[in-house]
């Protein structure tokens, strides 16, 4: 198998020839790109969770823009850039790379030649200088970005338009600067009589989109938006069959069923499973055992790369391994769910229930779980106030399924059955616990341990737990 190049690229956009699915959304945005070449500015916002294939979709659409519609197309991998001036610097560097040695690129190079710090023989790795006079150029372009784009269009007569993809907008979503700048230059462009054959696409998570809209509620109105869903089973199946066919390798039907099921339509998992099997399978046919070995190996990679489940993460403590496995056991037959219910809760033993508040707190820090209810912010704030001992009492309440946190009046410490079981020191800690609960307004609704209150925020997390459950051999 290894006598041919590995077709799988975990962590990178998939090769164009191996791109699978998304036919409807591709057609939708391909039509918008075509519309932009007639002089109508188009703005796209594509959302999806980490690992769902946003960058691959952007790469595929970029290829359409270049080869079908004859547009200049650049893909900015933002990588945490948090200010507009750094983004503009990256846009210029990508424009210079795209136009290097191109007949239509002479005007761009003439404009910025004196501000280029370095360029290698392949025309990539171009860096814009950062001297005061260079920074002044960037600031001027930031202020007049609409004019910069219009001048660029006027200089490239043999191209039909410009397509800019801004990928990974997490840093830009934190402050209003990006939103206000974006609205300002797009309003300027659309208010002019000039034709503006420009399309811009933002790629981000739903949370990042929400944060941007919070800065300016009118921001979302200018975009065509789509949320990338998981791929269909037949699309996942086609991807594996086509990719391994390049290697002259066939897949046993039982093995293929496992690979499709445990990919769960997640492109990141598909890439990891394919890559793992590429490196571990030594035959020309992939068997069930090969598939399982690849799935287990892919699970570990997903845990580290996408879920931050590294050895220094407290949630990987061995005391929580039983909770991981039981979450996996619950979701083994419920991959379409994203919320826990009482069936899952009954799978936990007493120790698991006592440990769950700590587990939930750590999972919340790493954006794996969240409270699923109207009082999410109050609950999160309340949990952050608790000490280690107090969290144990939280687990104790959950274990007892007490309604203690439903009360709205004064609490009678002397008569409550739970209090009677505590010694003096425990009683004092528990009183502090209740005071914090009351101050956080948690006491005005159902107790924090109520079943059905926890929800996944990363769709790869239940998949990870399911595979850990299979790997444990507890079935």
For the chain, give the percent of residues with pLDDT over 90. 31
Same domain, 393 and 281: no
The answer to whether residue 7 is domain-embedded is: no
Same domain, 370 and 250: no
- For 198-219, write each residue's pLDDT tens digit: 999 999 988 889 889 889 888 9
The answer to whether residue 9 is domain-embedded is: no
Query: In the numeric block, which tokens belong to residue 290?
Result: 């090969």
How far, in Å, CA of 460 to CA of 299, rounded? Answer: 9
- Structure confidence at residue 72 as a pLDDT band (50, 70, 90): very high
The answer to whether residue 312 is domain-embedded is: no
- For 430-468, write each residue's pLDDT tens digit: 556 555 655 554 443 333 333 345 666 777 887 788 888
pLDDT at residue number 431: 59
Phi, psi of 397 (to 5 degrees): -65, -40
Q: Is 90 left (phi over 0), alpha (psi -120 to 50) or beta?
A: alpha
The answer to whether residue 121 is domain-embedded is: yes
Is it the case that residue 96 has pLDDT exceeding 90?
Answer: no
Same domain, 223 and 238: no
pLDDT at residue number 121: 53
How far, in Å, CA of 266 to CA of 295, rounded? Answer: 13
How far, in Å, CA of 338 to CA of 458, rounded? Answer: 9
How far, in Å, CA of 279 to CA of 131, rounded? Answer: 47
Same domain, 138 and 186: yes
pLDDT at residue number 435: 59
Is it the case that residue 424 has pLDDT exceeding 80?
Answer: no
**Contact between 383 and 448 (Cβ < 8 Å):** yes
- Structure confidence at residue 281 as a pLDDT band (50, 70, 90): confident
Tokens 């991998």 correspond to 77
The answer to whether residue 8 is domain-embedded is: no
The answer to whether residue 471 is domain-embedded is: no
**Contact between 247 and 1 (Cβ < 8 Å):** yes
pLDDT at residue number 401: 41
> Which range of residues forms the domain containing residue 282?
233-306
pLDDT at residue number 450: 38
pLDDT at residue number 1: 64
Query: In the numeric block, which tokens belong to residue 123?
Result: 């025309």
Query: For the chain, what's the residue count?
Result: 475
The answer to whether residue 474 is domain-embedded is: no
pLDDT at residue number 440: 52
Query: What are the b/e assignments for 16-50, b being 16+ CB within 10 Å?
Result: eebbbbbeebeeebbebbbebbeeebbbbbbbbbb
- Mean pLDDT for the stretch of residues 155-180: 89
Of residues 400 and 177, the one with the higher pLDDT is 177
DSSP, residue by residue, 86-150 = HHHHHHHHHHHHHHTT-GGGHHHHHHHGGGEEE--TTS-S-EE--SHHHHHHHHHHHHTHHHHHH
Same domain, 82 and 107: yes
Closest listed residue to residue 84, CA positions, set 141, 153, 128, 131: 141
Which residue, 306, 327, 349, sits at the end of a domain?
Answer: 306
Query: What are the helix (H) ranges across 232-374?
Result: 233-245, 253-263, 267-280, 288-305, 321-331, 342-347, 350-365
What residues contact 137, with CB distance under 8 A and at least 6 apart?
115
Record the pTM.
0.77
Sign of the C-alpha dihedral, residues 292, 296, 298, 299? positive
Closest listed residue to residue 86, CA positions, set 128, 149, 45: 128
How far, in Å, CA of 370 to CA of 366, rounded? Answer: 10
Question: Residue 203: in which H helix or E strand, if any?
Answer: strand 198-204
What residues contact 140, with CB distance under 8 A and at least 6 apart?
none
What residues contact 428, with CB distance under 8 A and at least 6 apart?
none
pLDDT at residue number 355: 77
- Structure confidence at residue 325 as a pLDDT band (50, 70, 90): confident
Of residues 111 and 160, the one with the higher pLDDT is 160
How far, in Å, CA of 146 to CA of 128, rounded? Answer: 20
Same domain, 117 and 221: yes
- For 210-250, write each residue's pLDDT tens digit: 889 889 888 988 999 999 999 999 999 999 999 999 999 99
Question: Residue 419: in which H helix or E strand, if any?
Answer: helix 417-420
- For 137-153, write each residue's pLDDT tens digit: 889 889 999 988 888 88
pLDDT at residue number 192: 72
Of residues 198 and 135, the one with the higher pLDDT is 198
Closest listed residue to residue 165, CA positions, set 203, 221, 138, 204: 203
Same domain, 120 and 153: yes
What CATH number corresponds to the domain at position 123?
3.40.50.300
Is it the case that residue 265 has pLDDT exceeding 50?
Answer: yes
- Structure confidence at residue 405 as a pLDDT band (50, 70, 90): very low
Judging by beta carbons within 10 Å of its beta carbon (0-12, 13-18, 19+), is residue 58 exposed, middle or buried?
buried
Same domain, 161 and 57: yes
What CATH number corresponds to the domain at position 300?
1.10.8
Which residue, 227, 252, 286, sits at the end of a domain?
Answer: 227
pLDDT at residue number 444: 37
**Contact between 379 and 364 (Cβ < 8 Å):** no
Cα 28 to the chain's mean position, in Å? 22
**Contact between 288 and 255 (Cβ < 8 Å):** yes
Same domain, 289 and 346: no
Angstrom CA distances, 226 to 43, 116, 204, 412, stand at 12, 37, 11, 53
- For 76-88, write each residue's pLDDT tens digit: 988 767 889 989 9
What is the tally of structural domains in the chain?
Answer: 3
Average pLDDT, the chain: 79
Span between the terminal Cα atoms of the chain, in Å: 33
How far, in Å, CA of 265 to CA of 203, rounded? Answer: 19
Phi, psi of 4 (to 5 degrees): -125, 155
Is it the case that residue 349 has pLDDT exceeding 60?
Answer: yes
How far, in Å, CA of 290 to CA of 292, rounded? Answer: 6
The answer to whether residue 11 is domain-embedded is: no
Angstrom CA distances, 414 to 402, 422, 427, 431, stand at 16, 11, 11, 12
Is it the case that residue 286 has pLDDT exceeding 90?
Answer: yes
Same domain, 363 and 246: no
- For 6-40, write each residue's pLDDT tens digit: 999 998 999 898 899 999 999 999 999 999 999 99
Same domain, 198 and 255: no
Same domain, 194 and 141: yes
Which residue, 227, 249, 269, sits at the end of a domain?
Answer: 227
How far, in Å, CA of 427 to CA of 418, rounded? Answer: 10
């Amino acid at each position: 198998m290894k006598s041919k190049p590995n077709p799988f690229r975990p962590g990178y956009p998939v090769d164009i020839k191996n791109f699978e699915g998304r036919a409807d959304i591709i057609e939708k945005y391909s039509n918008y790109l075509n519309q932009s070449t007639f002089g109508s500015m188009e703005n796209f916002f594509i959302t999806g969770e980490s690992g769902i294939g946003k960058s691959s979709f952007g790469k595929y659409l970029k290829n359409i823009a270049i080869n079908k519609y004859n547009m200049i197309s650049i893909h900015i991998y933002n990588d945490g850039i948090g200010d507009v001036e750094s983004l503009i610097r990256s846009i210029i560097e990508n424009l210079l790379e795209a136009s290097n040695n191109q007949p239509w690129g002479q005007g761009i190079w003439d404009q910025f030649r004196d501000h280029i710090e370095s360029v290698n023989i392949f025309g990539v790795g171009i860096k814009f200088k950062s001297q005061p006079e260079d920074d002044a150029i960037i600031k001027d372009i930031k202020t007049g970005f609409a004019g910069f784009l219009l001048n660029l269009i006027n200089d490239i007569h043999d191209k039909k338009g410009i397509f800019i993809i801004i990928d990974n907008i997490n840093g830009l979503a934190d402050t209003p600067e990006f939103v206000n700048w974006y609205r300002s230059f797009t309003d300027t462009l659309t208010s002019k009589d000039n034709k503006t054959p420009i399309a811009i696409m933002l790629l981000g998570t739903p949370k990042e989109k929400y944060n941007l809209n919070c800065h300016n509620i009118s921001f979302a109105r200018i975009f065509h938006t789509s949320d990338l869903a998981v791929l269909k089973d037949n699309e996942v199946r086609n991807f594996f069959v086509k990719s391994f066919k390049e290697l002259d390798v066939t897949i046993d039907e039982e093995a293929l069923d496992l690979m499709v099921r445990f990919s769960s339509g997640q492109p990141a998992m598909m890439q990891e499973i394919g890559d793992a099997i590429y490196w571990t399978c030594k035959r020309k046919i992939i068997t069930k055992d090969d598939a399982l070995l690849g799935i287990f190996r892919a699970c570990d990679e997903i845990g580290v790369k996408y879920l931050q489940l590294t050895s220094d993460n407290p949630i990987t403590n061995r005391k929580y391994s039983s909770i991981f496995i039981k979450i996996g056991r619950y979701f083994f037959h419920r991959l379409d769910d994203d919320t826990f219910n009482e069936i899952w809760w009954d799978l936990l033993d007493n120790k698991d229930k006592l440990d769950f508040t700590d587990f939930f707190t750590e999972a919340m820090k790493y954006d794996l779980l969240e409270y699923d209810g109207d009082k999410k912010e109050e609950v999160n704030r309340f949990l952050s106030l608790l000490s280690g001992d107090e969290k144990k009492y939280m687990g104790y309440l959950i274990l007892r399924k007490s309604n203690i946190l439903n009360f709205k009046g004064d609490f009678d410490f002397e008569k409550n059955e739970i209090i009677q079981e505590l010694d003096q020191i425990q009683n004092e800690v528990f009183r502090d616990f209740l005071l914090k609960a009351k101050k956080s307004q948690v006491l005005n609704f159902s107790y924090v341990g109520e079943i059905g209150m926890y929800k996944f925020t990363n769709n790869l997390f239940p998949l990870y737990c399911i595979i850990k459950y299979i790997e444990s051999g507890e079935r």
